[in-house]
Amino acid sequence: MSDKLGNMRRTHTCCELGAEAVGTEVVLMGWVQRRRDHGGVIFVDLRDREGLTQVVFNPEVSPEVHEKAHVLRSEYVIGIRGKVEKRESGDQPGPELPPREAQDRHAAEEEGRAQEGQGQGQGQGQE
């Protein structure tokens, strides 16, 4: 899978999203650290040079982008855009992620861009 990132520009790094970001639209870019499919909803741990953020791809929000998330694998370089939502009580990230108040829930609801890549972000010149 290869989509162009186009004019997407990162607005935040992965560890910047906290309670104050809830409700805002953000653009994140980085590498897929890990992908988990939990019966329809796909969770991706997105990594950049600053840290990790959990991204949630929900078929009820955007079936088209959720379909794209099925092909994501470790070390793919992706850019995502979406709204930051407060975590539900009891909704905890994977064991490698620190507990946080906010997450980028289905961050690709408007645009989902992915570029296969290995290593240090070759391909798009952006992280």
User: Is the pTM above the cut of 0.75?
Assistant: no
CA–CA distance, 100 with 95 (Å, rounded to integer): 12
pLDDT score at 103: 54
The verdict on domain 14-115 having CATH code 2.40.50.140 is yes
List the chain domain ranges: 14-115
DSSP 48-100: ETTEEEEEEE-TTT-HHHHHHHTT--TT-EEEEEEEEEEPPTT----TTSPP-
Helix (H) or strand (E) holding 43: strand 41-48
What tens digit of pLDDT does each residue of 26-85 get? 999 999 999 999 888 999 999 999 999 999 999 998 899 999 999 999 999 999 999 998
